[in-house]
């Protein structure tokens, strides 16, 4: 029984224990794991996943989902690529030669626009966030397929690919962006009013309202953040791959969810940290890289991913179970949790 007291502490720091364990395991299994190239690769894989996970974590903190992230990544990447790519041939672009920086701004606006629509439907039309963003996920993917007729957009100019491709010294821009984004997200959630408000909205939206917070406004803001970050991830992904296929980002949302939840972001809202989410992102990327090095057949990788998601949900469920539930419903189930307080 005594052990149960340490379970919540363990669960809260579980991500770093898991990450360390995974690194040790793969280093023992293959000597190609702890090399500079492979570590760089892990971080590169983590970059797009991480940016998306930050966006999702913002919405989860308020107790909302954003399933549309993966389609927003693909959709904005497609818009950007189409604007900059040449027309005809195998390029399938607009041929307008739009400067990459302008294309990137258009992508950002598109991401914000999608976030704005999500937020407005959820808070103003009072629609369910899960269904709204699921519909958005499907609609955007549909537009991508319809617009390209299934063709790939290629021959992207170097300027457009810079973020996904270039390095500053030994450090890929992707990795610098990842770490900078998490640093900013960490500061915003812990040292700015916005972050505190989000935890309050996710923890108890009605009490947040009565404390002078406008929960609906905060929810609209997290969808704007999520949309903008998805556009950034889209630019990074397009640059890294060098082409944009209409299925870009498909299926990614589950990995993004798993990263956030394994990292300690609660699906119930109001709990979790950005640093934890970073841990979740690194863990998934590490597992991914390890499995590749071990030459696990790509036909089996999906199974592993599914199991990782299950494990993430299991951990989330245990957090609720081993935490003393709210006093109103749990009087009979639990001891007075803070002994000697009165």
Partner 1 sequence: MDTTTETYVVEMHDIVKTFPGVRALDHVDFRLRPGEIHSLVGKNGAGKSTLMNIVTGIYQPDEGQIWIGGERIETMTTAIAKGAGIAYVHQHSQLVPALSVAENLFCGNQPTNGAGFVNWRRMNREAGERLERVGLEIDPKSKVEGLSVAEKQMIEIANAMFAAARVIILDEATAPLPKNEVDMLFDFVRRQRDQGVAFIYISHYLEEVFEVCDTVTVLRDGQLVGDYQVSSLDMPELIRLISGAKLERFKRERVELDGKPVLEIKGLSRPGAYYDVNLEFKAGEIVGLTGLEGCGKAMLARGLYGLEPLGEGEVWLEGQPYQAKMPDEALDKGVAYLPRDRHGLGIVGIRSVLENISLSILEKLTNGLGLLRTRTERQHVRHYVDTLGIITPGLRQPVEFLSGGNQQKVVFAKLAGTEPKVLLLDEPTQGVDVQAKIEIMKIVDEMSRQGVAVAFISEDIREMADVCDRIVVMYDGAVTAEFHMGDPDATVEKILHAVEGG
- Residues in a beta bridge with 187: none
Contact pattern from residue 199 through residue 218 relative to partner 1, giving x for each residue in contact according to CB under 8 A and a dash for the rest: xx--xx-xxxxxxxxx----
324 part of the interface to partner 1, by CB under 8 A: yes
17 counts as binding partner 1 under rule CB under 8 A: no
Residue 221 · residue 55 · CB < 8 Å: no
Q: How far is the CB of 35 from partner 1 (least distance, A)?
A: 39
Smallest gap from residue 239 Cβ to partner 1 (A): 31
> What 3-state class would DSSP assign to 266?
coil
Closer to partner 1 at the Cβ: 133 or 205?
A: 205
Asked if 11 is part of the footprint of partner 1 (rule: CB under 8 A), the reply reads: no
Please give the backbone phi and psi of residue 278, each rounded to the nearest 5 degrees, phi first.
-60, -45
Binding to partner 1 in span 141-200, by CB under 8 A: 187, 191-193, 196-197, 199-200
Work out how close the CB of 283 gets to partner 1 at its nearest, in angstroms, rounded to a whole number. Answer: 24
Out of 31, 169, 297, 333, which residue is the one contacting partner 1 (CB under 8 A)? 333
Cβ proximity to partner 1, 203 vs 242, nearer residue: 203
Task: Answer left, alpha or beta for residue 157, where phi above 0 means left and psi between -120 and 50 means alpha.
Answer: beta
Let me know: does 242 contact 227? Beta carbons within 8 Å.
no
Which ranges of 30-172 does DSSP label H, i.e. alpha helix?
36-61, 69-84, 100-123, 129-148, 158-165
Secondary structure tally for the chain: helices H, strands E: 14, 2
Q: How many CA atoms lie within 13 A of 248 on its CB side?
A: 35
DSSP class of residue 153? B
When the beta carbons of 2 and 126 are compared against partner 1, the nearer one is: 2
Give the footprint of partner 1 on residues 262-291 (CB under 8 A).
270-271
**Dihedral over alpha carbons 132, 135, 136, 137 (to 10 degrees):** 120
Of 205 and 226, CB closest to partner 1: 205
The answer to whether 280 and 260 have CB atoms below 8 angstroms apart is yes
Q: Which is nearer to partner 1, 92 or 319 (CB)?
A: 319
**In whole angstroms, how close is the CB of 14 to partner 1 at the nearest point?**
18
Token pair for 184: 């900013």
The count of residues interacting with partner 1 (CB under 8 A) is 39
Q: Does 2 bind partner 1 (CB under 8 A)?
A: yes
Near partner 1 by CB under 8 A, which window of 52-60, 81-89, 305-313, 321-329?
A: 321-329
| d(C-alpha 276, C-alpha 259), whole Å | 9
Interface with partner 1, residue 339, by CB under 8 A = yes
To which H or E segment does residue 34 belong? none
- Min. distance of Cβ 192 from partner 1 in angstroms? 6
Taking the complex as a whole, how short is the minimal distance between the CB of residue 213 and partner 1, in angstroms? 7
- Measuring CA to CA, which residue among 181, 223, 175, 179 is closest to residue 198? 223
Decide: is 332 part of the binding site for partner 1 (CB under 8 A). Answer: yes
List the one residue from 36, 149, 298, 328 that touches partner 1 (CB under 8 A).
Answer: 328
Contact between 66 and 133 under an 8 Å Cβ cutoff? The reply is yes
Give the pair of three-digit tokens for residue 67: 């399933």
Q: Is 120 among the residues that bind partner 1 (CB under 8 A)?
A: no
Residues that bind partner 1 in the complex, under the rule CB under 8 A = 2, 5, 187, 191-193, 196-197, 199-200, 203-204, 206-214, 270-271, 324, 326-329, 331-333, 335-342
């Amino acid at each position: 029984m005594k052990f149960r007291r340490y379970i919540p502490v363990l669960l809260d720091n579980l991500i770093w224990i898991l990450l360390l364990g995974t690194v040790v395991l793969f280093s023992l299994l293959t000597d190609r794991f702890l090399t500079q190239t492979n570590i760089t690769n892990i971080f590169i894989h983590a970059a797009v996943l991480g940016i998306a996970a930050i966006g999702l974590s913002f919405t989860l903190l308020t107790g909302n989902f954003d399933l549309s992230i993966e389609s927003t990544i693909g959709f904005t990447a497609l818009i950007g690529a189409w604007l900059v790519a040449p027309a005809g041939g195998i390029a399938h672009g607009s041929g307008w030669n739009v400067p990459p920086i302008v294309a990137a701004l258009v992508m950002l606006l598109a991401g914000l626009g999608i976030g704005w629509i999500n937020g407005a439907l959820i808070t103003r039309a009072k629609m369910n966030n899960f269904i709204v963003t699921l519909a958005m996920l499907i609609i955007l993917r549909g537009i991508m397929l319809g617009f390209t007729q299934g063709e790939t957009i290629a021959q992207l100019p170097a300027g457009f690919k810079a973020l996904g491709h270039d390095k500053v010294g030994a450090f890929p821009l992707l990795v610098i962006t990842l770490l900078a984004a998490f640093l900013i997200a960490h500061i915003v959630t812990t040292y700015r009013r916005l972050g505190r408000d989000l935890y309050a909205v996710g923890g108890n939206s009605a009490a947040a309202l009565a404390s002078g917070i406008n929960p609906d406004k905060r929810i609209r803001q997290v969808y704007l953040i999520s949309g903008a970050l998805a556009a950034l991830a889209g630019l990074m992904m397009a640059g890294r791959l060098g082409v944009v296929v209409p299925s870009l980002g498909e299926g990614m949302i589950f990995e993004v969810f798993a990263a956030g939840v394994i990292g300690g972001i609660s699906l119930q809202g109001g709990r979790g940290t950005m640093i934890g989410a970073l841990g979740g992102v690194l863990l998934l990327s590490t597992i991914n890289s390890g499995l590749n090095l071990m030459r696990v057949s790509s036909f089996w990788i999906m199974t592993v991913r599914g199991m990782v998601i299950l494990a993430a949900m299991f951990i989330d469920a245990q957090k609720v179970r081993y935490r003393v539930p709210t006093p109103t419903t749990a009087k009979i189930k639990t001891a007075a949790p803070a002994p000697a307080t009165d």
